[in-house]
Structure 1
Amino acid sequence: MQFGPALPESNFLNHAEDLALLLETLPHRLDLVDSALAWRPEHRRQALASAAGHRDRVRLDRLASEIDRQASSAQDAVREAVRAGKLDLLWPIAALARSEIRPVIAKARDAIARSAPPEETRTERVAPDEPHVPLARSA
């Protein structure tokens, strides 16, 4: 099976998940502070263009704006905690990344999945010269 390049919407959301992971890891890895502060939102025009209809694009744009707003707020909080030398504040920031940013990313993934055209069947995706071998059943 051959894999092609990731879709723009996947790249956009993976980029947001990178920040969530950085924020969650900061209390354990202070060397990642610069990476978390250097993160910038990725342009979302391509990701939103794949949405089927106007309502889908509006919903995705709203979710993407929410991700960007939360990311910016989290970065501001990290910047202030480091500036003030209050590194213990990185723990609640990590918890907020887990409880606030990740759910919005999940909603955006769900919205993209719902707006995408139905996926082709497995037999259509198998290359003509690639044998289709079913998975073995366990005893």
Structure 2
Amino acid sequence: MQALDLQPNMLTMAGVFYPTGYIFAMFPTEADAKSVGQTIERASLSKEPVILLSPQDVLEKVVRTVGSADIPLPSAGTEAATVRQYAALAGQGHWALMVHAPDADETEAVMDVVRTAPFSFAEKYRMLVIEDLA
């Protein structure tokens, strides 16, 4: 697993976190997040490395992207509200995984592994839609 290296293609034009093609799942414990991430990697369920985020990473790298996203502008999404949910969970010590799973079969295979552990939140970033996977 690797640390998050936030890339421009993981942000909206307004600079808000929106990593299209990724599942973002949060877990109450570091152990569960690491175990699920390692299982996903061992099973080669993603062509990209699994990204592990500590609560601090979520707060410093993801949540900070919200900034002034609440300024009233036309928007089809709820990305700022979603990121605030991440902030609330990270504030409680929850860890996160990001897994690249661009198609439906990859998403289901990854979620089969995620569901083996207690998870607090899981969503898939698709083009123009954030899909709840819980």
Fold agreement, TM-score > 0.5: no
**Which of the two has greater helix per residue?**
1
Larger radius of gyration between Structure 1 and Structure 2: 1
Of structures 1 and 2, the one scoring higher in RCO (CA 8 A, sep 6+) is 2
Between structures 1 and 2, the one with greater strand share: 2
